[in-house]
């Protein structure tokens, strides 16, 4: 969940907010600004919809066992001692949703993260945004320790069809790192966090497609086609590994209509725009 910030508030965060490591040559970090390619806001935690709102919903294939959110679709594994979460996606080509306008920019995001569902204090996350306006599409990669703002890995090239591996790792409840690897282009980028004021609980691991916020409102949601997270893996404090098996499945419901259809098969999580 991301919050978009104004330019002035980004400047106020200062350079000390951006501590990057292992950046490839030519790649820099910039705070998110409200521009076409950098519109991310600090994400809010996942607001589940009341049970009464999940009855008799149009357009869902699996309403008997899925839970609903206004902005998150995918899978949330709930437990304890989660230290790292990983997943790989193929970047989709976003499209204007049915009935949309070519003058409107639509967006969606795919990310992996720790906490933010049953744990509401913080989220350590990293992912990729997809944008479409008319026939123009664009992408960016970002990282965030909510409730601080999300930041863009500037200069990290992403194209539709690229294979992207995302990893978020907690080294303590207030420190950690994220890494995004573009397997297709052979490039990677990493950001490290330390001394964060909002502590993780290490009780949630997520593979999410999101309709994120900008200036306090959800952005117009893009038809992202299908996003599949493969190689879904969680490592624990005991050194064990888990998959997405047994995770809670979420679909996005807005204005009484379900917009996604998600499922998991253990090592993979698939979400389709419907």
Asked if the model's pLDDT at residue 158 lies above 60, the reply is: yes
Asked if the model's pLDDT at residue 28 lies above 90, the reply is: no
Closest Cα to residue 35, out of 8, 4, 57?
A: 4
Say what the pLDDT of residue 215 is. Answer: 81
pLDDT band (50, 70, 90) for residue 26 = very low
Closest Cα to residue 77, out of 201, 229, 244?
A: 244
pLDDT band (50, 70, 90) for residue 68 = very high
Q: Of 41-50, 155-164, 208-217, which gets the smallest average pLDDT?
A: 41-50
Point out which residues pair with 227 in neighbouring strands.
271
For the residues 176-186, what does the mean pLDDT come to?
98
Say what the pLDDT of residue 49 is. Answer: 57
For the residues 61-66, what does the mean pLDDT come to?
53
Task: Quickly list DSSP for the chain.
Answer: -EE---HHHHHHH-GGG--EESPPTT-EEEE--SSSS----EPPP--BPPGGGGTT-BT-S-TTT-EEESSEEEEEEE-S-EEEEEEEEEPP--BPPTT--TTS-EEEEEEEEE-SSS--S-EEEEEEEEEEETTEEEEEEEEEEETSPPEEEET----TT-EEEEEEEEEETTEEEEEEEETTTTEEEEEEE-S-SSPP-S-EEEEEEE--EETTEEPPBPB--EEEEEEEEEEETTS-EE-STTPEEEEEEETTEE-EEEEE-SS-EEEEE-
Tokens 């539709």 identify what position? 160
Closest Cα to residue 117, out of 182, 206, 36, 33?
A: 206
Active site residues: 210
pLDDT band (50, 70, 90) for residue 65 = low
Domains in the chain, start-ordered, CATH in brackets?
Answer: 2-273 (2.60.120.700)
Q: Which pTM was predicted?
A: 0.82
Written as six digits, the tokens of 89 are 């996606």
Q: Of 54-58, 176-180, 193-197, 261-265, which gets the smallest average pLDDT?
A: 54-58
For the residues 147-156, what does the mean pLDDT come to?
93
pLDDT band (50, 70, 90) for residue 1 = low
């Amino acid at each position: 969940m991301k919050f978009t910030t104004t330019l002035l508030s980004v400047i106020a965060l200062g350079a000390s907010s951006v501590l990057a490591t292992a950046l490839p040559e030519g790649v820099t970090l910039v705070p998110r600004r409200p521009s076409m390619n950098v519109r991310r806001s600090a994400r809010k935690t996942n607001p589940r919809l009341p049970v009464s709102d999940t009855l008799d919903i149009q357009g869902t294939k699996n309403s008997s066992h899925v839970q609903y959110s206004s902005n998150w679709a995918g899978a949330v594994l709930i437990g304890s001692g989660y230290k790292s979460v990983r997943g790989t996606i193929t970047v989709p080509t976003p499209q204007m949703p049915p009935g949309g306008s070519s003058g409107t920019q639509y967006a969606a995001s795919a990310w992996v993260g720790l906490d933010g569902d049953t744990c509401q204090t913080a989220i350590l996350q990293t992912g990729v945004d997809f944008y479409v306006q008319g026939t123009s599409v664009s992408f960016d990669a970002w990282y965030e320790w909510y409730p601080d703002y999300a930041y863009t890995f500037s200069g990290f090239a992403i194209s539709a069809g690229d294979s992207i591996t995302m990893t978020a790792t907690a080294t303590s409840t207030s420190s950690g790192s994220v890494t995004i690897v573009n397997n297709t282009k052979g490039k990677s980028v990493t950001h490290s966090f330390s001394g964060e004021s909002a502590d993780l609980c290490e009780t949630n691991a997520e593979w999410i497609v999101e309709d994120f916020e900008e200036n306090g409102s959800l952005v117009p949601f893009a038809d992202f086609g299908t996003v599949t997270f493969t190689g879904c893996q969680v490592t624990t404090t005991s050194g064990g590994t888990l998959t997405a098996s047994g995770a809670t499945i979420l679909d996005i419901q807005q204005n009484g209509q379900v917009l996604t259809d998600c499922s998991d098969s253990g090592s993979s999580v698939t979400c389709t725009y419907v």
